[in-house]
Amino acid sequence: MKISSSQKGNIFEIQVSGRLDAYWSGLLDTEIEKAVHGGKHKIALDTSGVEYISSAGLRILLKTNNRLKSLGGKFIIKNPSANVIEILNLTGFGDLFRESISSSEDDNNNNADDGKISATLEASPDNYMKCTISGRADFWNAKDAGSISSDALEASENVFAIGTAAFGDRHESCKSRYGEFIAAAGAAAYLPTDNAKEADYMISTGDFIPKLHSIFSIKCEGKFSRVFNFEQEKTETTAMSEICRRALELTSSPRASLMMIAEIDGLSGAFLRKSPCEIKPAENIFAFPNIREWLSFTPEKAHQGRLAIVCGVVGSEREDFGGSMKPVDMKNDISAHLHAAVFNYIPLRQGKLELSAAVKGLFSEEKIHTVMHLINDNRIYSGAGESVFSRGICWVSPVKEIIRKGL
């Protein structure tokens, strides 16, 4: 038995020969899994050299076919040997593959662009977002915990928000739990700062809309105007700063709202460990070692291979969004405030992706690991740098109106 593979145009070809029994089916499954994880959603299996397929082998073919179909890709059996055709026909799987077999030659429908960041997939250039800033980002400058006020926030379908919040409808019941939060397309998650320490989430269903209470939030409401894909090129991944630049460029705006679903190559972030309402008068939360009680961070890039929903705002003026923006890289020309929710990996459908369904699908089906505030760890030798992604899809929109509340 032999398994080898090569990229032919937009089709990833896997050649197998010999006996496809239970043992080799396992290896073939791993090979296909690796290809799908690497973004190959059009796979041709060259079975010209296959003498025998057991039920284990058939299972893999069936599984791959269903999987790639659901991802908007394609699975093709190429050059089936007489044995393979016979087995497929006898077991009733012939029909399933006949179409694939006959269409293998003319499959040239290419919608993957070359280059790292592709052109826009869809444009409704008139769309824009309205932004509401509530509360103050620098809670540590509050006179005392009692002076920290809070505000209700509903995570409805058209809301894309980040900040410090907790699920609940009263400040009293939330004040020991406030942590990093993210809300997108009717779903919301936050990292509680009480003993729970596990990211909690809520998804809107029917008339139910998740309710949060926040002490600081940046809430963007409206629709996205542009969508773009990005893909890893050889070993080069896409940095958060590149995506931010692209967002401003595409929206031709000094400030933009951004939402993305991407496969993580490494996240650099920080998160609260203690609720801001626990701050003592004149306490310096950044003083070492006191900071260890308050914040934790990723000393090296984290969560590689997982999936992230990233949400937030980007702009060329640091003071724009309640003074909570930080430079995305060393160039200092663009700042952002972004939060990420981290999930288990699942392959993403390529091309156009329906935002709301994709977000809700992730929230309801995959385990959420954490929520964090993305940072650029710019320390010269020991810094983890900024977050990087291997592939993903990003929605952006200009922010045209900023309202300040609760100051």
With respect to other proteins, which residue has the nearer C-beta, 136 or 360?
136
* Cα first-last separation, the chain: 70
Residues that bind other proteins (CB under 8 A): 137-138, 270, 286-288, 291-292, 295-299, 324, 326, 337, 373, 375-379, 382-383
With respect to other proteins, which residue has the nearer C-beta, 23 or 140?
140
With respect to other proteins, which residue has the nearer C-beta, 235 or 382?
382
- Report, in Å, the least distance between residue 127 CB and other proteins: 28
With respect to other proteins, which residue has the nearer C-beta, 121 or 291?
291
- Report, in Å, the least distance between residue 55 CB and other proteins: 35
Contact 390, 218 (CB under 8 A): no
With respect to other proteins, which residue has the nearer C-beta, 18 or 299?
299
- Report, in Å, the least distance between residue 375 CB and other proteins: 5
- Report, in Å, the least distance between residue 324 CB and other proteins: 5
Cα 39 from Cα 57, distance rounded (Å): 23
Other beta carbons within 10 angstroms of residue 125's beta carbon come to 13
- Report, in Å, the least distance between residue 247 CB and other proteins: 20
- Report, in Å, the least distance between residue 386 CB and other proteins: 10
With respect to other proteins, which residue has the nearer C-beta, 90 or 287?
287
With respect to other proteins, which residue has the nearer C-beta, 245 or 337?
337
Instruction: Give yes or no for a cis peptide into 289 (omega within 30° of 0).
Output: yes
Cα 296 from Cα 247, distance rounded (Å): 29
- Report, in Å, the least distance between residue 272 CB and other proteins: 9
Cα 60 from Cα 58, distance rounded (Å): 5
With respect to other proteins, which residue has the nearer C-beta, 87 or 314?
314
- Report, in Å, the least distance between residue 104 CB and other proteins: 45
With respect to other proteins, which residue has the nearer C-beta, 213 or 373?
373
- Report, in Å, the least distance between residue 74 CB and other proteins: 38
With respect to other proteins, which residue has the nearer C-beta, 182 or 353?
182
Beta bridge partners, 214, equal 151, 165
Name the amino acid, one letter, at 222.
G
- Report, in Å, the least distance between residue 387 CB and other proteins: 12
Cα 236 from Cα 214, distance rounded (Å): 38
